[in-house]
Structure 1
Amino acid sequence: MKIAMVSEHASPLAAIDGLGGADAGGQNVFVADLTAELGRQGHHVTVYTRRDAADLPSRVRLAPGVTVEHVPAGPPEPVPKDELLPYMAEFGRYLAQRWTNAPPDVVHAHFWMSGLAAIRAADALTPRVPMVQTYHALGTVKRRHQGGKDTSPHGRVRLERAIGRTADAVIATCSDETAELIAMGVPRERITVVPCGVDLARFRPGGPAHAANGRPRLVALSRLVERKGVDTCIEALARVPDAELLVAGGPPRARLGGDPEARRLLGVAERAGVTGRVSFLGRMGRDEVPALLRSADLVVTLPWYEPFGMVPLEAMACGVPVVATGVGGHVDTVVDRVTGVHVPPRRPDQAASRIRDLLADPTRRAGMGVAGADRARSCYSWERIGHETISVYARAMARYEVAV
């Protein structure tokens, strides 16, 4: 197939630098790994992402069969994703122009604003191009949990609903998202759950690990934003004597002092009396992450809500059990009491209780590690996810042909 991926704020090229930009989260890694796999399977993929620096080349080869094209939409400088909506019409016009003489077989939009640009471009073509939507996060969920702190543009929920009803197929990354989409009015028959995959060559048991220091080690790998619940991890640590917590993510280590959330978390650690047992590592390169995860006795990830959650899957692939909030994608990936345990969000007391129980039982932790690695291999290889994604494209193309 000739596939157009639209990822307006999250460039797959940012995946080279670890967790990516502050606004991108795991979406850049998702798009990078998915497109590389589709290229391996013989498809031709172009990823369209916004030009956010003046010196970026127009096109960059990401992997065999995969090209990243920088779209001139808005100023050639970083812009927070919640401020990009005014540039999506320009983005869509560019796509329509690019596809007029050489349309793709299918368009796959990542995030709701990408969907707006993709629909604008697809509708401008004759015949129209089939379009698939992955949201990565839903405005209804964000508003529910963040309330007045939600910085999404006005009308996001309304526009997400319209995108879901217009798309030929919608990919949900977890079963919880399916229920949200149906409640929004997206037709059930157009929704397919296709989770994120994991790089099994990079994330595996038995590879190099960061040096241990004799303390039980907890690792949290996360963007430093409030809803990720890193403060809950720190507060739980106060109830787990002798353990240490390594927090990776956010800006580079040298710039952590200028990050408001990092400063807030330092204050949380001070008030909890654990400043000597928490280490903030800053942003890590993707190649450094597996060794960090393998050094952990437990990987702890406690967000308020989570559209998918790549970190638990990467930890499982490394053979490390996970303590995760039982929300969103975690419910699908982390099998409670088999590959890890679920805890409620914003309950450091309950998280600490589960952590203490697992640290006291190395045999149980070892069994969970084996089960997690097996689950990652059998269910979440990128090869499998690539084939499932192509199946959705084929159904979207068939649905479009019937409609025509």
Structure 2
Amino acid sequence: MHIAMISENADVADLSAALAELGHDVRIYTRREDPDVAEVVVTPSGVHVVHIAAGPPRPLPSDLVLPHMGEFARILGEQWRDGWQPDVAHAHFWTSGLAAVTAARQLNIPVVQSFHELGEFGEVADGPSRSGYERALGRAVDRVVAQTQEEVRGLVRIGVPRSSLIVVPAGVDSETFTPDGPAVQRDPERPRILSVGKLVERKGFGDVIQAMRYVPDAEVVVVGGPPAERLPGDPGARLLQSMAEQFKVADRFRLVGAVPHRELPSWYRSADVLIATPWEEQAALEAMACGVPIVGPAAGSLTETVVDGLTGDLVPERDPRALGGALRRLVNDKVRRFTYATAALDRARQAYSWKRVAAQVGSVYASLRRTPAVVEDPV
């Protein structure tokens, strides 16, 4: 099949490469963010990345990308009408979905939508709310691919028909994220607990800090947020550091800051356990693929990713004492950690490989395939 991936940023490389390996002709259409990048770049897997000149050639947040999606859609439609035309278009994120629907409608090209994350229900900005756009988009496309049942519930809540929803989990690169390879140096006598994600207290980092009171011999390392040189001035980092001092765990609390994606596996390998949050499901998958057991709240997508008592332990949400107790038991039990790690690795490879995800998504595409319309030039 000819498959068009539309993304305001090009963060769909793994799925596109896996689809190409299955024999599909895949092109990624993304907004040009670098004035020096070529219009078309071919990846080693044979995927064509097409850069659309819509808006200023620099990275923009979603709310500033929206005004340029009309131009993005116009150029997209012209390219499809005059040249290579997809059998299906798969849009990622809501702004890209608006462009994909607009471009595909006149050409009778089916559209699949992946939101990845939803806006706050009822949030209001200048003009229509994001949730209003998401509701309209979810009703306009041919199929919506959700990654978890939690996301399905959110989509139904904003008014997307359940009949158009299908669940295909996120994938993980099990060739990059593997137990084998270098690990970041650590104190071998002190258990290391790792957390990965944005430095926002509501993401659960406050609970992590409080939980460390119940794991007296361990350290917690947080990877994420701004680069290390900007941590001292970051409000989130300052708040967490203040909390660590308040709860007297500052000597066992370390903020690393953002690290390049290629370095993440070495951080996972250095850990005895990962504390995960429902908002950072990808970190849980990556850690599992590196053979690291998970501890986290029994909430959201973690209840689908982590098998409680098999690949990790889930505890009541917003309960630092329960979280700390689960961490203490796990770091003190090498046999249990090994058992969890082995099961986590197997689950990541079997249930979340990109090959499996691509096959499932490809079946969705095949169910929608139809003959695109031929648009004739007016006489």
TM-score relative to the length of structure 1: 0.85
1:231-242 map, 5 Å: 231-242=206-217
Q: Which amino acid aligns with 2:3?
A: I
> Within 1, Cα distance between the matches of 2:336 and 2:371?
48
**Candidates 103, 107, 115, aligned match of 2:97:** 115
SS at match of 1:319: coil
Question: Which residue in the other structure is 1:190 paired with?
Answer: 164
Partner residue of 1:267?
242
- Compute the RMSD of aligned alpha carbons: 2.3
Match of 2:153 in 1: 179
- Distance in 1, matches of 2:40 and 2:209, equals 43
Say whether the 8 Å CA contact 1:106–1:131 is kept in structure 2: yes
Structure 1 CA distance, aligned partners of 2:312 and 2:101?
Answer: 40
Contact conserved, 2:87 with 2:371, CA < 8 A, in 1?
no
1:223 aligns with 2:203: no
The answer to whether the Cα contact below 8 Å between 2:4 and 2:86 also exists between their aligned partners in 1 is yes
**Counterpart amino acid of residue 282 in structure 1:** G
Give matches, 1:272-311, under 5 Å: 272-302=247-277, 305-306=278-279, 309-311=281-283
- SS in structure 1 at match of 2:160: coil
Q: Tell me, in whole angstroms, the C-alpha distance in 2 between the residues paired with 1:152 and 1:4.
A: 31
Tell me how far apart the structure 2 counterparts of residues 285 and 82 of structure 1 sit (CA, whole Å). 25
**Structure of larger gyration radius:** 2
Q: Are the counterparts in 2 of residues 132 and 170 from structure 1 also a CA contact under 8 Å?
A: yes
* Paired position in structure 2 for 1:17: none
Q: Give the % identical residues.
A: 45
Q: Distance in 2 between matches of 1:93 and 1:274?
A: 55
How far 1:175 moved relative to its partner?
A: 1.5
CA contact (8 A) 2:62 2:95 kept: no
**Aligned in 2, Cα 1:4/1:129: closer, same or farther, shift over 3 Å?**
same
Unaligned runs of 5+ in 1: 12-27
Aligned residue in 2 for 1:20: none
Corresponding residue of 1:211: 185
Equivalent position amino acid for 1:217 in 2: R
Residues 314 and 135 from structure 1, CA distance in 2 versus in 1: closer, same or farther, beyond 3 angstroms? same
- Would you say how many aligned residue pairs link Structure 1 and Structure 2? 371
**Equivalent position SS for 1:63:** coil
2:376 aligned residue: none
CA drift at 1:170: 0.9
Aligned CA distance change for structure 1 residues 319 and 170 (closer, same or farther; 3 Å):
same
- 2:112 is matched with 132
Per-residue CA deviations over 1:213-259 (Å, capped at 9, x if unaligned) read 01111011113344432232222223321211111112222222233
TM-superposition CA deviations, 1:348-372 (whole Å, max 9, x none): 2221121112122221111111111
Structure 2 unmatched runs, 5+:
374-379
Q: Secondary structure at the residue paired with 1:288?
A: helix
Q: Could you tell me which residue of structure 2 aligns to residue 367 of structure 1? A: 339
Give TM-score, length-normalised by structure 2. Answer: 0.91
